[in-house]
Chain A
Amino acid sequence: MTKRINTVAVCGAGGTMGMGIALVAARAGHRTLCYDLSENALANANKQSRAFLQNSVSRGKISQQDMDDTLARMSATTKLGDLAEADLVIEAIFESLELKQSLVRSLDDVCDASTIFGSNTSTLSITQIASGSAHPERVVGLHFCLPAQLMKLIEVSPGLLTSDETTAAAWAWCEASGQIPVRTQDRPGFILNALLVPFNNDAIRAVEAGLASPEDIDRAIKTALGYKMGPLELLDMVGLDTQVLLCEAFYASTLDPRAAAPPLLHRMVAAGLLGRKTGRGFFDYNTNAMFGA
């Protein structure tokens, strides 16, 4: 019988992704424990959650009662011991294998033996993260898309030792929470990033090779393929420093040359051209000008 999930804990709930995941869980009717090391981050996430839900009320997506109920189901804590009652713990902490292994190891001592651990990693191996736990059979990949509170997709990835029961319970939870799960193997980048990271790198290499301007590359992709965003404006939104981190994780485990960070990406990061967050990346957000090779 599939495990029933009543209480969900989110580790890293003070971050953007963790906040979104917590909203998904609470909105779906679960008691939701929001855990983070930083009280300030949790307070800020609570403020953002309220603002998001208030906007949903204003737009008629949910009622005021829905909003109040959702917030009432959420509680914040900086004590890992408070996660003892969780049936499902989803981690969305910093993308570090050591940190994630350490977290699942600590949770072994806190949670019930039947608690499921979901990892929101985008590039790390579920099997490797699970190796930090004495119960690797209960660790499964649950990769949400940003912003989690709006995006329905969850990539569900069992590791080598993940039990069928764990995968089935995680899958059922995704569906019961109104999300749409897809199943992938435990491979670097799963589906989404395995296709996206090298594609975005190819777009950077096209700029570097002088094939066309960033503006024309994005316009070509959007016009020809019907994508909502071009690869370069998407990179600017994600952050070029984040793309470097994705490349480092992805290339190290695949040795796929397309996954290696292009030289132009390194140069732009060195120059502080990180994208929207610094006002300039492939495009200049102060003057609407664009960066060319």
Chain B
Amino acid sequence: MGYAIMSGDGAARFADDAILAGGVGYADADVVVYAGSEFAPDSDKRLILIELGDECLADHVGEAGLPNVLGFARYRNGNDPASPLVELVRQEAHGDEVIAAARAFFEGLGLTVVVCADRVGRIVSRLVVPKYNSALRLLDDGLATQQDMDLTCKLGLGYPDGPIERVCRGGLEHHYARSKALFDVFPSQTNAPARQAIVARRRSLGRPQEYEA
């Protein structure tokens, strides 16, 4: 299936992936991928895929959705290279056929696809952001050293890296943004950015004394 990439200045970065090199022009494409550019509906296209950041698909198409427009996100831990995971965002408007087509498109690129509801954080961030905040707070509270906390997760749970080394490596300012987006919708204490992430955010803005970013 021929695809076109509509890239822009937005936060989405799928267009940067070498994996998607070799697209066709918009007119010839039956699949259109919006990666950081403004979405335009087109009912003639078989499939339109909007790369999402911390927002919902509904931000682009409304809660009802459009039958041929799906959202997706390739999971990244901040600045880390992209993982092979694609979270495919489904709304009520979507039949099984369009989901199957999107799945085939991404799997054809060698990626692993999961399907989830249109919620901020989707699957991975919704589960790991509270954990990273909790780990950062436990570190602040003196539960153990960072080294021992990370080592515990690696040895005890078989994780390839510990939660603190991972979130720090990806960039605490990125974690702040993801955490804040989750907190706006699910305002629990553990979705609230941890102190270290707030500090990193303020420093990245060059406003160390400001409380509200």
- In Å, the complex CA distance between A185 and B115 comes to 40
Across the interface, do B134 and A195 meet the contact criterion of CB distance under 8 Å?
Answer: yes
Point out the residues of chain B lying under 8 angstroms from A217, CB to CB. 114, 123, 127
Interface residue ranges, A against B (CB under 8 Å)? 145, 151-153, 155, 180, 182-185, 187, 190-192, 194-196, 198-199, 202-203, 206, 209-213, 216-217, 219-221, 223-229, 231, 257-258
Supplied contacts A182-B144, A211-B126, 11 more A-B pairs, CB within 8 Å:
A191-B149, A195-B134, A195-B138, A206-B123, A216-B115, A216-B116, A220-B85, A221-B127, A223-B85, A223-B114, A224-B85
Point out the residues of chain A lying under 8 angstroms from B155, CB to CB. 145, 151-153, 180
Point out the residues of chain A lying under 8 angstroms from B123, CB to CB. 206, 211-212, 216-217, 220-221
Interface: B7 (CB within 8 A): no
Interface: B13 (CB within 8 A): no
Point out the residues of chain A lying under 8 angstroms from B112, CB to CB. 219, 223
Residue of B117, B127, B149, B152 near A202 (CB, 8 A) is: B127
Point out the residues of chain B lying under 8 angstroms from A187, CB to CB. 143
**A195-B153, A223-B85 given as contacts; is B142 within 8 A of A185 (CB)?**
yes
Which single residue of chain A is at the shortest CB-CB distance from B119? A211
Residue of A192, A198, A199 near B156 (CB, 8 A) is: A192
Point out the residues of chain B lying under 8 angstroms from A226, CB to CB. 159-161
> Separation in Å of the A198 CB from the closest CB of chain B?
7
Across the interface, do A220 and B87 meet the contact criterion of CB distance under 8 Å?
Answer: yes
Point out the residues of chain B lying under 8 angstroms from A216, CB to CB. 114-116, 123
Point out the residues of chain A lying under 8 angstroms from B153, CB to CB. 191-192, 195
28 contacts between A and B (CB under 8 A): A151-B155, A182-B144, A182-B152, A184-B148, A184-B152, A191-B144, A195-B153, A195-B163, A198-B134, A202-B130, A206-B127, A211-B117, A211-B123, A212-B115, A212-B116, A216-B123, A217-B127, A219-B114, A220-B122, A220-B124, A223-B84, A223-B112, A224-B83, A225-B160, A226-B161, A227-B157, A227-B158, A258-B188
Across the interface, do B87 and A180 meet the contact criterion of CB distance under 8 Å?
Answer: no
- In Å, the complex CA distance between A285 and B116 comes to 24
> Separation in Å of the A103 CB from the closest CB of chain B?
25
Interface residue ranges, B against A (CB under 8 Å)? 75, 77, 83-85, 87, 112, 114-117, 119, 122-124, 126-128, 130-131, 134-135, 138, 142-145, 148-149, 151-153, 155-161, 163, 166, 188-190
Across the interface, do B131 and A195 meet the contact criterion of CB distance under 8 Å?
Answer: yes
Which single residue of chain B is at the shortest CB-CB distance from A219? B114
> Separation in Å of the A216 CB from the closest CB of chain B?
4
> Separation in Å of the A253 CB from the closest CB of chain B?
14
> Separation in Å of the B93 CB from the closest CB of chain A?
16
Point out the residues of chain A lying under 8 angstroms from B189, CB to CB. 257
- In Å, the complex CA distance between A187 and B119 comes to 33
- In Å, the complex CA distance between A240 and B7 comes to 46
> Separation in Å of the A160 CB from the closest CB of chain B?
14
Point out the residues of chain A lying under 8 angstroms from B119, CB to CB. 209, 211
Residue of A152, A180, A185 near B144 (CB, 8 A) is: A185
Point out the residues of chain B lying under 8 angstroms from A212, CB to CB. 114-117, 123
> Separation in Å of the B170 CB from the closest CB of chain A?
11
Which single residue of chain B is at the shortest CB-CB distance from A216? B114
Which single residue of chain A is at the shortest CB-CB distance from B144? A184
Point out the residues of chain A lying under 8 angstroms from B128, CB to CB. 225
Residue of B124, B152, B160 near A221 (CB, 8 A) is: B124
Point out the residues of chain B lying under 8 angstroms from A224, CB to CB. 75, 77, 83, 85, 124
- In Å, the complex CA distance between A89 and B193 comes to 42
Point out the residues of chain A lying under 8 angstroms from B142, CB to CB. 185
Across the interface, do A151 and B156 meet the contact criterion of CB distance under 8 Å?
Answer: yes
- In Å, the complex CA distance between A278 and B91 comes to 35
- In Å, the complex CA distance between A198 and B112 comes to 26
Point out the residues of chain B lying under 8 angstroms from A198, CB to CB. 130-131, 134, 190
Which single residue of chain B is at the shortest CB-CB distance from A191? B152
Point out the residues of chain B lying under 8 angstroms from A184, CB to CB. 143-144, 148, 152
- In Å, the complex CA distance between A219 and B126 comes to 14
> Separation in Å of the B189 CB from the closest CB of chain A?
8
Point out the residues of chain B lying under 8 angstroms from A191, CB to CB. 138, 143-144, 148-149, 152-153, 156
Point out the residues of chain B lying under 8 angstroms from A196, CB to CB. 157
**A194-B134, A219-B112, A228-B158 given as contacts; is B148 within 8 A of A183 (CB)?**
yes
- In Å, the complex CA distance between A232 and B117 comes to 18
Point out the residues of chain B lying under 8 angstroms from A151, CB to CB. 155-156
- In Å, the complex CA distance between A196 and B158 comes to 12
- In Å, the complex CA distance between A14 and B85 comes to 43
Point out the residues of chain B lying under 8 angstroms from A228, CB to CB. 158
**A145-B156, A211-B116 given as contacts; is B85 within 8 A of A182 (CB)?**
no
